[in-house]
Structure 1
């Protein structure tokens, strides 16, 4: 590790450490065409927009009246079901990622979490996958802090709270704007694809596993 400037690796959760699958929560419980629309990139029902508000720190109970008014009672009821059964949308850790965290720790690197996630549902990640909590030195959760990627303040909070130096850190996220946000505060941001690509990116930055 002495040969590398990298000392710490920071990970997003959904799409990086965890498989986040809204369809897995809803499929078979609601009409297929409605589920298809909700899970589409251009979802007309705004599930991901409402969830993004929760990730930024708003409470479900404060958002729900907006869902009812904007989408109607039937869609709002599905959104409530989704939030109340959120664990079903987290079917697994992504292949190879627990092993990557284990290897990094075994070789002396720090591993940390930084996620846009609601304070009301984040606990499910560690309840379902306790090994992640064991491996990570700490996690910044947007909904708890009321800060939100890709804004600089949430990255700066992670650096400050964990005692890290930006230039010695790598950050993996599956969303391009969040990678840019990390780069803008001096962290080596990498757009995540899979565990093998993450290992190759780390190798390119001088990390030896």
Structure 2
């Protein structure tokens, strides 16, 4: 089986409400309050941040756009943008899952919505080439999930059939798009939660 991992919220920590509560305590007192601020900042990964995800604009431009749209100071917006790379900490249970899937003989790939600066950071900081045969970052192909084109690009790059791929992603819209592209897919919440589903499919031993 070809198992394809999302990154944010799957292999790397990414929970915008709690992230903003840590970076912007003067604006976001706790994660609950962070829900509304995260929706305004990241726009559900559409709008300004969506263009950044797709590599259509750079960090300076996304900072300027968010500041102009929200009225927040550009320096404060830059503080958040600059803090994202450090926020993307490895989730050790997912690393263990990767190692177990590799040991079981599966081929592993990744498909991640990731602006180029953060993609560069992850490649420098982690042994992605040891864990994965290949992968697609949205910022480098100018497409993003859940758009159909990035799934087609991934299949072409991986050199595999869509039906042979099992996608693990934390966003239901991306799971639906994977199914529409002919992939198998599972909604990822935690590594511990997905393990039984992988065992049911015969992809992991007991």
Spell out the pairing of 1:36-55 with structure 2 (5 A cutoff).
Answer: 36=30, 40-43=34-37, 46-49=40-43, 50-55=48-53
Larger relative contact order (Cα-Cα within 8 Å, sequence gap ≥ 6):
1
TM-score, normalization: structure 1? 0.84
Tell me the equivalent position of 2:71.
72
1:37/1:43 contact within 8 Å kept: no
Name the SS for the 2:189 alignment partner: coil
1:106 & 1:44 partners in 2: Cα distance? 38
Change over 3 Å in CA distance of 1:168–1:118 after alignment to 2: same
After alignment, is 191-200 or 166-175 more displaced?
191-200
Aligned residues: 200
CA contact (8 A) 2:148 2:181 kept: yes
Moved more, 162-171 or 14-23: 14-23
* Larger relative helix fraction: 2
| Cα pair distance change 1:191/1:29, threshold 3 Å | closer
Matched residue, 1:203: 199
After TM superposition, the score normalised by the length of structure 2 is 0.85
Unaligned runs of 5+ in 1: 1-6
1:99 matched residue in structure 2:
96
Q: Which residue of 1 aligns with 2:84?
A: 86
Where 2:110 maps in the other structure, the secondary structure is strand
Instruction: Tell me if the contact between 1:117 and 1:141 (Cα under 8 Å) persists in the aligned partners.
Output: yes
